[in-house]
Structure 1
Amino acid sequence: MNLREHIDNNPMSAYQWTVVIIAAIMNLLDGFDVLALAFTATAIRGDLGLSGAELGYLFSAGLLGMAAGSLFLAPLADKIGRRPLLLISVTLSALGMLGSAYSASYGALGFWRLITGLGVGGILVGTNVLTSEYSSRKWRSLAISIYASGFGIGAVLGGMFAVVLQEEYSWHAVFLAGFILTAVCLIVLLIWLPESIDFLMTQQPRNAQIRLNKITKKMGLKGQWTLPEKVLASASKLPLTQLFNKNYRKSTALIWIAFFAIMFCYYFVSSWTPALLKEAGMTTEQSVSVGMMVSLGGTCGSLLYGLLASRWKAKQMLVQFTVLSAFSVIIFILSSSILWLAMLFGILVGGFMNGCISGLYTLNPSIYAANIRSTGVGWSIGVGRIGAILAPLAAGVLLDYGWDKQSLYIGVGFVLLIAAIALSLLRIKTTLVKC
């Protein structure tokens, strides 16, 4: 019997949806942990006497940590398992938040933000892969969209809590609250988080047969499922090098282009929109309101993509969302002189672009076989994080060279169209694990 095919083609059980919810909660906490610095930046700058450049480096430390976690920590999951990776990553994130809470200097805070980002980078990959592997083919896009929407929800809730905690205590309390919540999440994972079925079948660690049947029983699958014959990989073939063999090199190049382009555009829009709109004549309140509309649209867009991709092909929906993102970004900036139009198209921009991110998370795991899946997903997300880091810097350089905001957003539209072309050329060849 083919267990992978059975999971793909049958309704999802309550246990499988529980795994999705656990992943969404982890992503929610990631949204809080990553943006905790944004919530407390003003207070930290005043308390530690930081310059604007020093504050910028603190922001970059978290993003660099996330990129490093995706590139170098996530591949461990193909060797030790998805569950151990997530436990290690959540532990790092919790320690990073605790260290940040008690940091009394710029250097110490920067170090602990790097550790937090490292953990978050591993969590993003582990949860993405685990959600994909526990979902059926029909509901995979929706499941991943639910998981992906947790980040934005965590950011919104984190902002609300941060205001209260800072008024009542200090900026330290925001990071301490993040540590407590992440530590509670770690305890939940230790008790309830299962190992990946695909990992158990391909890598076959100790007691894999027993663990596999315990999981299938919780999923409501009757009978005893046996492990397939283990295929021994060559010791010289590292997971990273396999991403560029003849079976994967084209898909790897295309998904990397798409990830880099979409994450570059998303972080440009989310980072620069309030500031550029304020320079164009909006009040601070109006520019922040438009920025909030982008975030609000993001949460709705992730879920909308999941629902649509459950009815139609996920790749086709992703290409359409990417093209719509390109046109909505251009229309958004051309209509930004009218507040209500800017808010309306801000929602559309956030919705379509976050839908693109959910689509990337949906397609990415299906490109690679189970034995290199975490490596493939991790490096794709890592390349995307490099785009996220470069986006604000590139925009600043272009502004210094005399580009106006319309030219920048039109350029973003063209970059999104490049991503759409790359995605349209992508061919999905999922390798099924037979059992």
Structure 2
Amino acid sequence: MDLREKIESSPMRMYQFVIIGVVAFLNALDGYDVLAISFTAPSIRGEFELSGTALGLLMSAALIGMAIGAVTMGPVADRIGRRNMTVAALIVNAAGLFLSATAQSPAELSLWRFITGLGVGGILVGTNVIASEYSSRKRRGLMVSIYAAGFGLGGAVGGTIMMALIDAFGWRSVYVFGGVMTILALALVLSILPESPQYLYQRQPRGAQRKLDSIARRLGYTEPVDLQAKPASLSAQEPETSGGNEIAGLFAPGQRRVTIVIWVSFFVVMFGYYFVNSWTPTLMHDSGLTESLAMFVTVMLTLGGAIGCVVFGLFTARWSTRQTLTWFTLLAGTLMAVFVFTANWMALVLVVGILVGFFANGCIAGLYTLTPQSYPTRLRSTGVGWGLGVGRLGAIIAPTVTGVLTDAGWTPQTIYMGVGLIILIATAALLSMRRLDVEANRSPREDLQAAEPQRAS
């Protein structure tokens, strides 16, 4: 039995749903972490007397770590295994969170936030691939979207918890709680999360046969697993990797076009999403909302993001991932531009905030779905890692640029409109790939063929 093909073609089993739940919880740590710096920013700004530019740089520290972690740990995960990378990254992440609670200066806090980001970057490159590989062909779009929804859910639930923690114990308690949750996540990974089956087949590390047999039993399959099975799609399209060629492989003739579009889309989508999550409490307060209401609007935004991820997955059952993602970027950019103008009407700002989160985080779910489908197994974690890394560059720049613009006197209205226009760049990039519809329900062979440029274009 080829376990990969079995997972692809069979209905989802309970263990697969458990795996999706675990990786969604890990992604929720990212959502919690992004809101942690957003919600604690007013207290940190007051304690350390920071300017807008300095606060923006502090907000970017973890995002820099995430970008470096994603691009450097992606290739490592392809070599040592996605589960092993996730375990190591969780340890680093927990250390950064606990140390953040001890910071006595902006520089010290920036360092610990950077360490936290390194861990989050390593978590994402492994869990995104595992979510994709343990989903059936029919349900892959929905399952990866549920995984992506963890980000918004972590922000929404975590934001509510953070508001209570800050009021009761101060801003440092937010990071202590995050560290405790990360330790819990580590225990779940060690006890539940399996290794990527594609990695075990292709790399065949020591104990690969035993691990595949164990995974098959937990999935409820009784047939013996054939470690030497070579599906035609893999043998014909995926030569064994040679050391050090993974990054260059992203720009091979069969991958160059999709890599450029994915990188551009990741950059502008994450620029917009991390801007709105990082600065909404501050900018909405500057626009006339009370501090508590501005935070509540941000919670609604992240809740809308969780819903948007799941709905995106449902849409991919009927339309291609690229086509659905194109519409989501168009609506996210448009709504971002008008969001701040609704601040004078409480009910309207909450509704539009939910919709901004719905479409913006739905875009991230779309990129999480599109990216692993677009690359062969030997490049999958590398492709996801570099896509996330480039996206994190946008996320890094967004808070810092916003801080500089606020110090320069830009109004919140002008800033939100500018970010909306930036998101529309992704719409244009995806429209240029209208003949490259990578669908969640395609076979592995079709996914690989779809990732190649159309000769006629």
TM-score by length of 1: 0.89
What SS is found at the alignment partner of 1:228?
coil
Please give the root-mean-square deviation of Cα atoms over the aligned residues, in Å.
2.7
Aligned to 1:375: 382
With 364-373 and 402-411 compared, the bigger mean Cα shift is at 402-411
Q: Distance in 2 between matches of 1:153 and 1:108?
A: 29
Q: Mark the CA change 1:262 to 1:217 in structure 2 (over 3 Å): closer, same or farther.
A: same
Cα pair 1:365 1:377 within 8 Å, conserved: yes
Q: Distance in 1 between matches of 2:286 and 2:44?
A: 25
Aligned to 2:441: none
Is 1:209 the equivalent of 2:209? yes
One-letter amino acid matched to 1:362 = T
With 242-251 and 396-405 compared, the bigger mean Cα shift is at 396-405
Residue 234 of structure 1, CA deviation = 2.9
Q: Distance in 2 between matches of 1:327 and 1:10?
A: 40
Gaps of 5+ in 2: 439-445, 450-457
- Mapping of 1:321-340 within 5 angstroms? 321-333=328-340, 335-340=342-347
Q: Distance in 1 between matches of 2:404 and 2:96?
A: 31
Cα pair 2:156 2:300 within 8 Å, conserved: no
- Mapping of 1:135-154 within 5 angstroms? 135-154=135-154
Aligned to 1:11: 11
Aligned to 2:447: 430
Q: Distance in 1 between matches of 2:290 and 2:177?
A: 32
What SS is found at the alignment partner of 2:98?
helix
Cα pair 1:318 1:356 within 8 Å, conserved: yes
Aligned to 2:113: 113
Is 1:233 the equivalent of 2:241? yes
Residue 323 of structure 1, CA deviation = 1.8
Q: Mark the CA change 1:122 to 1:415 in structure 2 (over 3 Å): closer, same or farther.
A: same
What SS is found at the alignment partner of 2:447?
coil
One-letter amino acid matched to 1:386 = L
Cα pair 2:34 2:277 within 8 Å, conserved: no
Gaps of 5+ in 1: none
Q: Distance in 2 between matches of 1:251 and 1:122?
A: 23
With 91-100 and 282-291 compared, the bigger mean Cα shift is at 282-291
Aligned to 1:183: 183
Q: Distance in 2 between matches of 1:425 and 1:384?
A: 19
Aligned to 2:362: 355
Aligned to 1:247: 254
Residue 310 of structure 1, CA deviation = 3.0
Aligned to 1:51: 50
One-letter amino acid matched to 1:228 = A
Q: Distance in 2 between matches of 1:395 and 1:98?
A: 28
Deviations, residues 98-128 of structure 1 (Å, cap 9, x unaligned)? 2223334443332221111100011112111
Q: Distance in 2 between matches of 1:342 and 1:406?
A: 13
One-letter amino acid matched to 2:146 = I
Q: Distance in 2 between matches of 1:101 and 1:278?
A: 26
Q: Distance in 1 between matches of 2:229 and 2:76?
A: 23
Cα pair 1:77 1:126 within 8 Å, conserved: yes
Deviations, residues 168-218 of structure 1 (Å, cap 9, x unaligned)? 444443322322221222122122221000111111111212211221221
Q: Distance in 2 between matches of 1:102 and 1:400?
A: 29
Is 1:304 the equivalent of 2:311? yes
Q: Distance in 2 between matches of 1:252 and 1:10?
A: 30
Q: Distance in 2 between matches of 1:67 and 1:117?
A: 8
Aligned to 2:396: 389
Residue 325 of structure 1, CA deviation = 1.8
One-letter amino acid matched to 1:233 = T
Deviations, residues 76-119 of structure 1 (Å, cap 9, x unaligned)? 11111101100110010111122223334443332221111100
Q: Mark the CA change 1:96 to 1:359 in structure 2 (over 3 Å): closer, same or farther.
A: same
Q: Distance in 1 between matches of 2:106 and 2:197?
A: 43
What SS is found at the alignment partner of 2:157?
helix
Q: Mark the CA change 1:205 to 1:59 in structure 2 (over 3 Å): closer, same or farther.
A: same
One-letter amino acid matched to 2:448 = T
With 156-165 and 83-92 compared, the bigger mean Cα shift is at 156-165
Aligned to 2:452: none
Deviations, residues 234-265 of structure 1 (Å, cap 9, x unaligned)? 33x52111111111111100110111111112
Instruction: Give percent identity, aligned residues only.
Output: 44
Q: Distance in 2 between matches of 1:180 and 1:334?
A: 39
Aligned to 2:196: 196
Is 1:421 the equivalent of 2:428? yes
Q: Distance in 2 between matches of 1:181 and 1:51?
A: 29
One-letter amino acid matched to 1:377 = V
Aligned to 1:222: 222
Cα pair 2:240 2:378 within 8 Å, conserved: no
Aligned to 1:22: 22
With 30-39 and 416-425 compared, the bigger mean Cα shift is at 30-39
What SS is found at the alignment partner of 2:24?
helix
Cα pair 1:140 1:310 within 8 Å, conserved: no
Residue 42 of structure 1, CA deviation = 4.2
Q: Distance in 2 between matches of 1:110 and 1:409?
A: 26
Cα pair 2:73 2:125 within 8 Å, conserved: no
One-letter amino acid matched to 2:11 = P
Residue 54 of structure 1, CA deviation = 4.6
- Mapping of 1:34-183 within 5 angstroms? 34-45=34-45, 49-52=48-51, 54-183=54-183
Q: Mark the CA change 1:42 to 1:337 in structure 2 (over 3 Å): closer, same or farther.
A: closer
One-letter amino acid matched to 1:310 = A
Cα pair 2:78 2:199 within 8 Å, conserved: yes
Q: Distance in 2 between matches of 1:61 and 1:292?
A: 22
Residue 281 of structure 1, CA deviation = 4.4
TM-score by length of 2: 0.85
Cα pair 1:34 1:117 within 8 Å, conserved: no
Q: Distance in 2 between matches of 1:39 and 1:419?
A: 28
Residue 366 of structure 1, CA deviation = 0.6
Q: Mark the CA change 1:64 to 1:351 in structure 2 (over 3 Å): closer, same or farther.
A: same
